[in-house]
Structure 1
Amino acid sequence: MIQKVAKVCMVPDILDQSDAQSFYLSGSDLAWQLCGSHNEGLLAASECARQLSYLRIKTNKLLFVDAQSGFGNPLNTYFTVKEFEHHGADVILINDQQFPSQTKHPQIASIYSFAGRVKAAIDAHNQQNSSIWVKLDGYSHYQLDGLQKRLIIAEKLGVTGALLNSVPAEEINKLKVNLKLGILNFETKNYPAQVKYFFE
């Protein structure tokens, strides 16, 4: 059965959606609250971590957190994951964009840069405290073949899940992957069988 993941930004969002099974702190939404812009690249990792700690106090449910493109190079990614774990993240999402991440006009990183940041995230995290997922924003850029390649790399590096952003259902059905899958900005209610999480 598919689980719905509710977007949250401030503590009242958690209180208003107390029936949700899990929550997602989106960089885009937090940037809107703090900066008046949906450009997630305006945020620092410390701002996201601070907000995460407030949310964690109010819920013990599964909490997904947008770590964007790791806030820099692999070393930045390593310490970002450590910081987010310390502040209560259950699932930390690393995207496939260049730094800084952009919500509306993403610039997709090379597959080598993406792999380097994912490896740093895996090395940093404690398996008892958190999981590392990838957030794939570049489907329109690299299409199905590139999507499959990134999922294979992520799985080999030790990632446990992937959030697919704006990927059509018919393409998801063609994927060959053993990762847990979530979907974001999905246009139909006919969810592919292998999808476990729907991010509202």
Structure 2
Amino acid sequence: MTPRQKLRALAEARRGVLVPGAFNALSARVIEDLGFEALYVTGAGVTNMWFGLPDQGFMGLAEIADHTARIRDAVELPLIVDADTGFGNALNVRHTVRTLERAGADCIQLEDQVSPKRCGHFAGKDVISTAEAVSKIKAAVDARRDSDFLVLARTDACAVYGFEAALERAALFAEAGADILFVEAVTQAEEVGALPRRLASPQVINLVIGGKTPISGTDELGRLGYAFVLYANAALQGAVAGMQKALGVLKQTGTLHEDPALVVSFAERQRLVGKPALDALERRYAGRIAKAHL
């Protein structure tokens, strides 16, 4: 199967597949190396890493497309790509889908916030009208070239209009052709349990460490019927903690050795970025050149 077909099969299985977020190609390599089945190209992570800014609409299409293409080259895993609000109206969404499909995305996530959007677990969110949101989902569905390319529709209406209104929006997104639904930032355990019962389409739940949604075990969420359990920025938060720890020791002591509690080894870093495979290719091509001159 292609990565897109694999992702569709994972969605339909509804077994709570863990999906970590990648904020660059190296983090994607780590996710694949650890055996995860899919990854999420996180807009918040790209914004934090690329600009050093919070997730408040600073990322554009060019940045997320560039990261998607680099991650696509680095890993074989299915890629769910965060496209925020689609970067404009329904026509802009068409362009966004075409751009990200070409960059190697297997699924695009679109949300219904006003622009500039903000992290789903921040206060002060607002959403566009239901009619406009539905039109953008229809545009995304129409724009895809490959029928296996998936559209993931997210609503942030729960924080603005309440849980029932968010359910109504999500159902309309499914009618518009969305393959996967995502009701962001539910705050009650009862709501977490109700979503897979109330909506027929495969669903994502987003577990933000320190966020608004109660953290539940992946096995439990799989039993409830969620397709994907998203940890969009666990890798980024872990990387920041690791940098602070290692550099804190360096600042305090003035030196840093190859301590596995603080840093990966030089050899492990080279393995993750594929140096052994590139060395083998270099030997192969050098051998062919040498033979050609005999």
- Give TM-score scaled by structure 1 length: 0.93
In structure 2, list runs of 5 or more residues that go unmatched: 1-14, 208-212, 232-294
Distance of aligned partners of 1:199 and 1:111 in 2 relative to their CA distance in 1, 3 Å threshold: same
Residue in structure 2 matched with residue 171 of structure 1 by the alignment: 191
Letter matched to residue 50 of structure 2: L
Q: For structure 1, which segment, 43-52 or 137-146, has the greater mean C-alpha deviation from structure 2 after superposition? A: 137-146
Cα distance, 1:129 vs structure 2? 4.3
Report which of the two structures shows the higher radius of gyration computed on alpha carbons: 2
Which one of the candidate residues 188, 193, 196 is aligned to 2:215?
188
Equivalent position SS for 1:101: coil
Letter matched to residue 190 of structure 2: E
Which one of the candidate residues 199, 213, 230 is aligned to 1:199?
230
Q: For structure 1, which segment, 184-193 or 115-124, has the greater mean C-alpha deviation from structure 2 after superposition? A: 184-193
Residue in structure 2 matched with residue 86 of structure 1 by the alignment: 102
Q: For structure 1, which segment, 100-109 or 142-151, has the greater mean C-alpha deviation from structure 2 after superposition? A: 100-109
Q: For structure 1, which segment, 81-90 or 177-186, has the greater mean C-alpha deviation from structure 2 after superposition? A: 177-186
* 1:116-195 aligned within 5 A: 116-167=135-186, 168-175=188-195, 176-185=198-207, 186-189=213-216, 190-191=220-221, 193-195=224-226
Contact 2:157 2:163 in 1 (8 A): no
Cα distance, 1:62 vs structure 2? 1.4
- Give TM-score scaled by structure 2 length: 0.64
Distance of aligned partners of 1:129 and 1:49 in 2 relative to their CA distance in 1, 3 Å threshold: farther
Give the distance between the partners of 2:143 and 2:110, measured in 1 at CA: 13
Letter matched to residue 117 of structure 2: S
Residue in structure 1 matched with residue 236 of structure 2 by the alignment: none
Give the distance between the partners of 2:194 and 2:43, measured in 1 at CA: 29
Give the distance between the partners of 1:174 and 1:199, measured in 2 at CA: 18
Letter matched to residue 30 of structure 2: D
Residue in structure 1 matched with residue 91 of structure 2 by the alignment: 75
Residue in structure 2 matched with residue 14 of structure 1 by the alignment: 28
Equivalent position SS for 2:215: coil
Give the distance between the partners of 2:23 and 2:56, measured in 1 at CA: 13
Contact 1:30 1:40 in 2 (8 A): no
Residue in structure 2 matched with residue 115 of structure 1 by the alignment: 134
Give the total of aligned pairs.
200
Equivalent position SS for 1:12: helix
Contact 1:72 1:100 in 2 (8 A): no
Give the distance between the partners of 1:40 and 1:31, measured in 2 at CA: 9
Q: Deviations over 1:34-89 (max 9, x none)?
A: 11112241111011101100000111211110111110111111100110000011
Give the distance between the partners of 2:16 and 2:55, measured in 1 at CA: 29
Larger strand share, 1 or 2: 1
Give the distance between the partners of 1:145 and 1:165, measured in 2 at CA: 13
Cα distance, 1:107 vs structure 2? 2.1
Identity level (%): 22
Distance of aligned partners of 1:39 and 1:188 in 2 relative to their CA distance in 1, 3 Å threshold: closer
Cα distance, 1:188 vs structure 2? 2.6
Letter matched to residue 95 of structure 1: E
